[in-house]
Structure 1
Amino acid sequence: RKDDEFFRKDFGIDADEKLYKANCGTYYRCVPAPASKKSIAEAKCQSELFFDVEQQICERKHNVLNCAQIDKFQPPLPKWPLTDGQESLCPNGEIECGSGECLPRELFCDNNVDCVDGSDENICTPENDPNRADICDPRKCLWSEGCFCSVDGTRIPGDLNPEQTPQMITITFTGAINDRNFRIFQDIFKDTTKHKGNDCTPKGTFFISHAFTNYSAVQELYRVGHEIGVSSITNNQNRTYWSQLDSLGYENEMEGGRVIIEQFANISANEVLGLRVPRQRVGGNQQFSMMANWGFLYDSSISAPMGRLPLWPYTMMHRMPHKCLGTDQNCPSRNYTVWEMVVNELDRRDDVKFDEVLTGCHYVDQCANLVSPKQFRTFLDNNLDRHFRTNRAPFGLHFTSGYFETRKNFLKEFVSWVADVAQRGDFYFVTMQQVINWMEAPTEIAAINNFQEWKGKCEVKGLPYCSLPNPCPKKVPRLFPDEEEMFLYTCMECPSTYPWLHDPYGSGGFNSFNENF
C-alpha cells in the first residue's frame, strides 16, 4: 500500500462480517517513527459514520459496503517510472507492463488498454504519465507569440504590476435553478448595484444540473448578463462515477446537458462554454479530450491547495502548476486547448494572523465553522484581502445553488458585501468568460472603463422573455420513482418526454443526440 493510505485491522480468516462491521469506523495509517522506523496511527470516524476504505473518507453508515475489506484496491502497475538504479528490461523507447511484456512508450495512457493486465492505463497522472504535458517554460512560451503559462500559477498575465491589475471576483453557483433560489440570485445581483470603475452591474456564473431546473429562470439569468455553464444531466453523487467515466460518458453528461440548456433556456449555440463536474471530481484525460473535441472553453472542477500566493487560471497546454488535490482525484496529464478556472482554497480562520492553521475549504458550503453573519463577513473580507494584497488572482466564491435558502441571515450580509465591494473602485464581479477575456488582453485599471469585452450586457433593462412559462409535467417513474411528476418550466415548446441522457431533446427516443447534428 502507499505510505499515505489508510487501512483496516485484519482480524484473521476466522473473523465474521459482524466483527468487521463493529470496527468499521476505525482505520489506521503507517507514520514515521524514530530510528527510521514506522509506527501505526489509529483514527476513528464520528459515531454515526463508517470508514470507506475505497474512498478513504468517513461516510454515512448506510453508504459504506466494504467494512470487511482491509486495504484499498490496488490496480496492476507497469514498471514505471524507474527508480534510481533500476534498469529496464525493455528496449529503448519501451516500457515493461505489469504483466511482463514490453510496449512502445506512446501506447501508455492513450485511453486504450494495451497491456494484458491493463497496467498501461493505471499511471495516468500528471506526475507519472510517460507522455505527460511539458512543464511551462516562459523562455519558449512568449506572450508576444500568443502563449501564456506560469511555472507556479501565480504570474499575472502581461506581467502587470498588482497595482495595475483589476481585482476580479467570480461568484458561482452549482446545481439546479428553481423559483426559490432564482429570487435569491436576483437579490444578490441587484440592477441598482454597479461597479464604480465601469458602471456595469455585477455578474455571476451558474453551472446548471438538469433535474428540477426551471429553464425560464435560466433564460432570464442569461438575458441580464450572467454566464451559464453546465454541471451534468444526472448530477450523480457517486464520486467514482465521475473519476472513471469515459469520454463518451462525459459527452452524454456535459454536451447533452448543454443541448438541454440551449434548447429549453433558448440560449444560442457557442454561449455555454464552461463546465463543472459534480462533487468536486475530475475526469482526467477522458473529460478533457471530450471538452477539446466538443469546443468547451474551460473547466472549473480542479481544486488547488493553499500556497504562498493564490493561483491564476491557466491553460492545460502545459502541465498543471500545482498538486492534484483530492483522494483518488483523476487530473489530466496531457496537453489540451482548454482553460482551467482553478478553485483556490479559502482560509476559514477568524483571525488569519493569530489563529492556528486550519484546513481550508473550496466551496463556501464546506466552511462549516461559519455560524454568524459577522463571522461570514470577516471570512469574505479576509479572503478578498489575501488576493488583493498579493498577486490579485481572481477571487472565487463558489456555492451550491441552495446555499442561501437555509441561511437567510448570511444572504443579507452577502448582498450588503457585494454592494460595498463594487463601490470600492478596483473590484469587479465578473463571469468566468470575462476573466478569460481579460487574461487574453490584459488591461490596466486606468483603462478598464473602455475594456469592450466587459461592456456587453453591462446594464440590462427590460422584462423577461415570458412571465408564464410552460410547466411541461411529465411522469418519469423510471428515472424519478419518488416523484409523481417532473416539471420542466420553459418559455419554449414542451418536449414529448422528460429530457435525459441519450435524449436531451426529449423526443422520446434513445438514440445518441449526435444524430441530431
Structure 2
Amino acid sequence: MKLLVLLAILGCALAAPKPNFGLREAEACDETVCKPPNCKCFNSSIPGGFEPSEVPQFVYLTFDDAVSTINIDYYRQAFNGRKNPDGCPVQATYYISHEYTDYSLVNELYREGHEIALHSITHTSSTDYWKTQTKEQLIAEFGGERKMMAHFANIPEDEIKGMRMPLLQLAGDNSFTAAQEVGMNYDCSWPTSTRVWPYTLDYKSTQECSIPPCPTSSIPGFWVQPMVNLKDSQGTICSMVDACPNIKDDVDDVFNFLKSNFDRSYEGNRSPIGFYMHAAWFPRLPEHSFEGYLKFLDYLQTLDDVYIIGVERGLEWVRNPVKLGEQLWPSCQQPAEAPCKAKSCQLKKGEEERYMTQCLNSCPKVYPWLGNPLGEE
C-alpha cells in the first residue's frame, strides 16, 4: 500500500510543470504602484477612471486553428469592407495553428489589417501534453511558430504579439514566461466569469483558475486578456461560441445569443467582450449560423461607440486610455508591405503527404515542424 501511495505521489510530481527558478512569488497588487502603460491590476475598473459612456466598447472577434480555403470565404464575407466609427477597417484576431494552414491566406488577412496570432505548431489534442509543458518546450512550440508564421506568410515577426494555448490549457508560470521570452505581449487563454479589463502579471492575479495550473509568480509587463465567459439561453456557461450547446440553427436565435452577451458588457463596465470561436461552427449549423453572425455584425455597426478590433489594438488603448473623440485617439494601423505569390509545396511528414501553400519562391527542404520550424535540412 505504501508503495502504491509513493508511486502515485511520484506520478503527480512528474506530471506537474517544473517551477521556473529565479521567479518570485506574486504579491497582492498595489494600485498606487501598478499603473499603465506597463502595469495594471486585476479588476473591473475602467482604465483612466472614465465613465462607461466616455469609452469605447471593444468587441474581439477571434478564430482558432488553421486558415485555409475551407474557411477563408467566411472571413472575407464577414469583414471585408466594414469600418469602425473612426473610419478604420474592422479587425479580427486569428490564433493560427500550423497544420493545414495556407500561409498565402494568412498573408491576405494580414494585408487586410487583421491581427495574426499564435496557437502552436503541433496543436496536440491532449490537455496533459499542454498542462505539463516546460518553458523550453513551449518556446519550441510558440517561438518556432512565430518564426514559421513570419517566414512562410512573409509578415513582420515583431507584429505577431499574441497567443492562445490549445484547448485553453495553461501550464502555470511556464505558459507566460515562455510567451514573454519569445516576444509575445499577451495571452488570451484564461476563462473567467468576471467582467474584468485586461491586466498584467506583475502582481498576483485573483482571477478564478478554471483550467489549472495558473500562474503564481510575478511576470512583469506581460498582459492577460481574460476570456469572459458567455451564457446561452439556458444559462449554460461557455468560453467559446461553438461550445455553447443551446444555440438553435436559427438566424434570430444566433443573433439574440450574441447580442445578449454583448449587452452585458455594453450596458455595464464596457470591459472588452470577445466572441471566440472556430469557423468550423458555421458549416456545423449550416442553415442560419453565419447569417445570424452577419446580422450581429450589422447591428454592431449601427453603434457609434463600438469598435471591432484586434486584441493587441485593444491593449494599446488600455495602456494609454483616451476618451472617445479626443484628439489623441489612435490613428488607423497600416500593415507593412507584405508581397506574396502563393506557391504550393508537396512535402512529407513522416509517411504522410502534405501540401503546404506559402509565400516564398522556393519550398522548404522538409515539412516544417517542431524543432525545425523553417523546414531546413
- The match for 2:283 is 405
Shift of 1:349: 2.2
- The match for 1:242 is 130
User: Which of 360, 371, 376 lines up with 1:502 in the alignment?
Assistant: 371
Q: Any idea what SS the aligned residue of 2:60 has?
A: strand
- The match for 1:150 is 41
Matched pairs, number: 365
- The match for 2:244 is 367
User: Which of 173, 176, 193 lines up with 2:63 in the alignment?
Assistant: 173
Shift of 1:374: 1.5
Q: Any idea what SS the aligned residue of 2:144 has?
A: helix
C-alpha distance in structure 2 between counterparts of 1:246 and 1:142, whole Å:
31
Residue 390 (str. 1) matches residue 268 (str. 2) = yes
Shift of 1:183: 1.0
C-alpha distance in structure 2 between counterparts of 1:445 and 1:279, whole Å:
36
User: Which protein shows a greater Rg?
Assistant: 1
1:394-429 C-alpha deviation (Å, 9 max, x unpaired)? 010001242223334211221222122123101000
Shift of 1:150: 3.3
Residue 194 (str. 1) matches residue 89 (str. 2) = no
Residue 473 (str. 1) matches residue 346 (str. 2) = yes
Shift of 1:76: 9.0
- The match for 2:223 is 339
Moved more, 287-296 or 197-206: 287-296
Q: Any idea what SS the aligned residue of 1:312 has?
A: coil
Distance 1:317 1:497, change over 3 A: same
Shift of 1:322: 1.4
Structure 2 length-normalised TM? 0.90
Q: Any idea what SS the aligned residue of 1:222 has?
A: helix
Structure 1 length-normalised TM? 0.66
Shift of 1:494: 1.3
- Contact between 1:181 and 1:405, CA under 8 Å: does it hold in 2? no
- Contact between 1:242 and 1:281, CA under 8 Å: does it hold in 2? yes
Q: Which runs of 5+ in 2 are unaligned?
A: none
- The match for 2:159 is 271
Q: Any idea what SS the aligned residue of 1:132 has?
A: coil
Q: Which runs of 5+ in 1 are unaligned?
A: 1-68, 79-108, 113-128, 351-357, 509-517
- What does 1:27-426 correspond to in 2, within 5 Å? 110-111=19-20, 131-142=24-35, 146=37, 148-151=39-42, 153-191=43-81, 193-195=82-84, 197-304=85-192, 306-307=193-194, 310-326=195-211, 329-336=212-219, 337-349=221-233, 358-371=235-248, 372-408=250-286, 409-426=288-305
C-alpha distance in structure 2 between counterparts of 1:273 and 1:292, whole Å:
10
Distance 1:73 1:344, change over 3 A: farther
1:179-219 C-alpha deviation (Å, 9 max, x unpaired)? 1201111111021x222x21222110001100100000000
- The match for 1:455 is 332
Equivalent position amino acid for 2:198 in 1: P
Equivalent position amino acid for 2:258 in 1: L
Moved more, 486-495 or 245-254: 486-495
1:146-186 C-alpha deviation (Å, 9 max, x unpaired)? 554335x2111111111101000001101011112011111
- Contact between 2:241 and 2:275, CA under 8 Å: does it hold in 1? yes
- The match for 1:437 is 316
Moved more, 132-141 or 213-222: 132-141
- The match for 1:486 is 354
Shift of 1:245: 0.4
C-alpha distance in structure 2 between counterparts of 1:333 and 1:228, whole Å:
28
- Contact between 1:170 and 1:397, CA under 8 Å: does it hold in 2? yes
- The match for 1:5 is none
- Contact between 1:224 and 1:457, CA under 8 Å: does it hold in 2? no
- Contact between 1:180 and 1:405, CA under 8 Å: does it hold in 2? no
Q: Any idea what SS the aligned residue of 1:488 has?
A: strand
